Structure formats: structure tokens, C-alpha cells
Amino acid sequence: GRGGVVAEDGGSSGPARVLFPPTFSVSEIKNKQRRHFMFLRWKQQQRKEKLAAKKKRRKEREALGDKAPPKAIPKTIENQRVYDETTVDPNDEEVAFDEATDEFAPYFNRQTVPKILITTSDRPRGRTVRFCEQLSSVIPNSHVYYRRGLALKRIIPQCIARDFTDLIVINEDRKIPNGLVLSHLPDGPTAHFRMSSVRLRKEIKRKGKEPTEHVPEVILNNFTTRLGHSIGRMFASLFPHDPQFIGRQVATFHNQRDYIFFRFHRYIFKSEKKVGIQELGPRFTLKLRSLQKGTFDSKFGEYEWIHKRREMDTSRRKFHL
């Protein structure tokens, strides 16, 4: 029994008089039951000490009153993020120059109007089809075409001929969409994402009415590194440049720890300090898998960035977007 346990281990019968040899550790006990018991006791002790320390700290703080040092900032993953040397500085000239000359420059100079083609992989099932429809209602000037066994390499020149600026392919697996390929058409970069937690409009709680035809605003949050910057520009180029504020719709791409959350809301300003938002439209999460320089070409394309699991997933505090 328990008395036997303690007697064998330290020769005393209560926690107050426990004497262990200094090199003893709980994990050395071979018997699982006893080890478990000792571990629980050790844990309780730790908790008590922690509580006592907290109380003492609080008392000291109150005693000091105003002169107390400010509260320590809790560590979060965002705080502890490994500094990425490709972080974009807003005043960076090189980046600004790059942006003026890259593939999105004609869009940002208002020379081209975005026209999007949305398609799926072969034989899409109901959920994917509905998701495509909703996505096309969210992105203005977009068309959905079904692919009946057509090769992507052959439809790309056709798209370019018909003046499309972007191509979105939604990949399906087991009746749910799980991948997204976004390709900027006249020779632009191709980004391949893994898509997860797709919610259609009817699955969203407390949703509003259907999204109207007004051009929504775009919010891009947290795209800090150079790679994130180019992805952010890619998303921005999907939407026409002049949002119609009458529509009061906003599409958000929020990057957090390499996951890009897409939401579509309608907002209303209740006062100058309060705004209410109502979610309409589909929502999904994207995770970037690869970024390719030219248009979609899996064999001969030049990859700018691929997610390599073994190299890039080693640290919990390192993010690439």
C-alpha cells in the first residue's frame, strides 16, 4: 500500500518528512502504480509552490503600489516569432522597385481589369460545384467553367486569348474541395494552396443575405515577408481596383502563422468608434504549398518557393508568410 511505498523509498510516512537521496528522480521507479503516485504528489507540490510564489508576487506588487514595475508581457507565438530576414520594410526601395516592375504592375497601374476564370478538377461533386458558384458571386467579374477532361496546359492559351487575367482551379478530393491553384494569366506566378475548413453560405451561422454585385473592399492582414507580400498582391489583383463603398462589403485575407483565412463580410458603421460586421459568403483557409514563376506547369516550371516539410517545419516559431 501507500505506506509501503514511502517506507521503501525514503523511510518516512508523510509528505512533510520525506527524505530522498539527492539524485532521486520520480522516473526511476520501476513500478507503474508507485511511479504514478509519486508523480502526482510531486505535481501537487509544484502547484503549491507556484501558487505561493504567485501570491507573494501579488503582495509585493500591491505593497509597491504605483512604483511597481509594469506587468510582464505574456509570450505568444507571434511575439516569439523567429525574425525573418525577408521581412518587408514599408519604406524599402528595392521592394517598391520590384513591385513597380513585376507581373502585377499593370493591374496596380490600372491598365488591366481583372477577369477571373474559376474551374475545378475533373468531375466535381455537389459541394465543390456549390462552392465554385459562391466563390464566383463573391469575386466580381468571374466566370465558372467546368472542365470535362480538358488539359490545363491547353486551356491556358485559350484563356489568355479571351482576356482572362486570373485562373483559379479548385481541386477536389472525396467530395470536398481541398486545394486551390491560383494562376495569374499573362505569364504570371502560380500559387498552389491547400484549402481547408471550407464553409458554404448555408453552413455559416448568423449569416446575412446574399452578396450583391458591388465591388467589395479588400483587407490584407499580416503579410509581412517578401513572399507574403507577393502573395498578398496576388490576392489583391483578383478584385477590381475601385471598391464600391455603397455595397459595404469587404473581403478579408488574414494571414496568421502561415494560414490565410478568407472571410467575406458586410459592415455597417454604428458610430465613429463602432462598426458591426455580418458574415456572408463562403469562408475557407489556405496554406501556401508552392509558388511557381510562370503559369501552371508541373514538370518544367521554375519554382520560386516550395514548402519543404523537413526543412521548414522544424521550429514552432518560424513562419514564412
Using CB under 8 A as the criterion, which residues of the chain lie in contact with another protein when the complex forms? 76-78, 122, 151-153, 194, 196-197, 217, 219, 221, 245-246, 250, 252, 254, 256-259, 261, 263, 265, 267, 269, 271-273, 275, 277, 285, 287, 309
Nearer to another protein, 19 or 246 (CB): 246
Nearer to another protein, 49 or 78 (CB): 78
CB 304 within 8 A of CB 203: no
CB of residue 259 to another protein, shortest distance in Å:
5
Nearer to another protein, 102 or 258 (CB): 258
CB 136 within 8 A of CB 118: yes
CB of residue 152 to another protein, shortest distance in Å:
8
CB of residue 67 to another protein, shortest distance in Å:
19
CB of residue 137 to another protein, shortest distance in Å:
20
Distance from chain centroid for Cα 182? 17
CB of residue 70 to another protein, shortest distance in Å:
17
Nearer to another protein, 67 or 309 (CB): 309
The b/e string for 177-189 (b: 16+ C-beta within 10 A; e otherwise) is: bbbbbbbbbeebb
Between the alpha carbon of residue 219 and those of residues 222, 252, 254, 292, the distances in Å are 10, 5, 8, 24
Between the alpha carbon of residue 179 and those of residues 17, 28, 288, the distances in Å are 62, 49, 10
Separation of alpha carbons 162 and 141, rounded Å = 13
Separation of alpha carbons 134 and 283, rounded Å = 10
Nearer to another protein, 37 or 261 (CB): 261
